[in-house]
Structure 1
């Protein structure tokens, strides 16, 4: 099974983790900001319990120390988090590592860390958080895929299911999805549609 899966939802609560695990999502990321160390450890521990004995791979965003202590297997870091992280400790713990990138300088930084995947974004405008980077557009996916080579490239930022075929055709190996699931009027149906789409294209 490729990692991360071609459909890669990013959610912000244990309730969402449980909901997506129940639907058979292969890879999902838990991204919750502004937690202290004890809160982070509790969250990661509880989330790992939800995916135990399921096929779902849980990626922990940011809290690398909690991920190591709780026995997580997968980690994602933004550039700010990467600057504060101990990559040797992360690797020694056996964690896979995904990294966010938004421009050429960040890509160079990410490649130097030898990650298991690289995320590029935002592809389209996103309302979820204020971005200091302009939308990259689909053409940038093809350019960056040539540069990262065999490292999986994850496209993120404002992507909807209707754009998935074009994103994959441009060279993305995976699409990280946030609002198209979490803000959808029928999230469960949307998840099923995504899963059907990537299964049909496989």
Structure 2
């Protein structure tokens, strides 16, 4: 708390630090010695349990030998975007609709599911988990505020993947207890798309998350543009979510190709 973390975040970080210090306890006279705190913790995540949330549902993985990374992850508001972007090689996309209801919403999701299947693309439906289950979408993406109202057991039973938004240690501990398919980490940079109270992580913060959860698919989101996507990709994230950089572009197809190339160059540079 003295470092400015909100109380729930501070408690999670303190527990991580304590367990890390115990694990690294040094020997004293041949016996296991005192706990050894070694700086800010990056492991020993607590198995947070919220009585309102079913734990350890173990949603299916969203990566495989054929598709080991989520890659460029556009977030769009209409199925027609899938027709434009998927032929370019986009393998993960999210449909986030805010202005349709009833049959129009259902029809739009159904069309997006059809297009995604034709291109073997991982389509995540934002928020509308009932329609995602009904139309047998690949997956659902939920914000933290939606976790309590969504029927997570029904989503898991239908075989859908689950992506969860995360902004801090407390939310991550909460999300990890569900064993989702991926976690979106943000905000990476400041963004005008959505009002967020959290301080942007930046590259150092994003690197912290990828190292702390090296075996878990992470998606970087918020404020990412063409000039920094290579650096973001080089941190080791599985995917990079993009909204306005693509949807507001004069030539979305050309921009998408350029972003995918910059991501690939960033990964190659980090390995080099």
Q: Tell me the TM-score normalised to structure 2 length.
A: 0.69
Q: How many residues align?
A: 202
Counterpart in 2 of 1:44? 109
- Any stretches of 5+ residues in structure 2 without a counterpart? 1-65
Counterpart in 1 of 2:227? 162
Q: What is the alpha-carbon distance in structure 1 between the residues aligned to residue 224 and residue 107 of structure 2?
A: 31
1:70 aligns with 2:135: yes
Counterpart in 1 of 2:176? 111
Q: What is the alpha-carbon distance in structure 2 between the residues aligned to residue 195 and residue 65 of structure 1?
A: 32
**CA spacing shift, 1:39–1:79, aligned 2, 3 Å:** farther
Render the CA deviation track for 1:28-66: whole Å, top value 9, x for unaligned: 111112544544322211211222321322111111110
Structure 1 stretch displaced more, 174-183 or 18-27:
18-27
Render the CA deviation track for 1:78-99: whole Å, top value 9, x for unaligned: 1111221111111110001111
Counterpart in 1 of 2:207? 142
Q: What is the alpha-carbon distance in structure 1 between the residues aligned to residue 158 and residue 207 of structure 2?
A: 33
Bigger CA radius of gyration = 2
**Considering only aligned residues, what root-mean-square deviation do their CA atoms show, in Å?**
1.9
**CA spacing shift, 1:183–1:34, aligned 2, 3 Å:** closer
- Any stretches of 5+ residues in structure 1 without a counterpart? none
Counterpart in 1 of 2:243? 178
Does the 8 Å CA contact 2:221/2:242 hold for their aligned counterparts?
yes
Does the 8 Å CA contact 1:60/1:74 hold for their aligned counterparts?
yes
Give 1:98's match in structure 2, choosing from 144, 163, 179. 163
Structure with the largest fraction of helix: 1
Render the CA deviation track for 1:115-156: whole Å, top value 9, x for unaligned: 111101111111112222222211111221233231111100
Q: What is the alpha-carbon distance in structure 1 between the residues aligned to residue 239 and residue 115 of structure 2?
A: 23
Render the CA deviation track for 1:89-112: whole Å, top value 9, x for unaligned: 111100011110111211111111
Counterpart in 2 of 1:2? 67
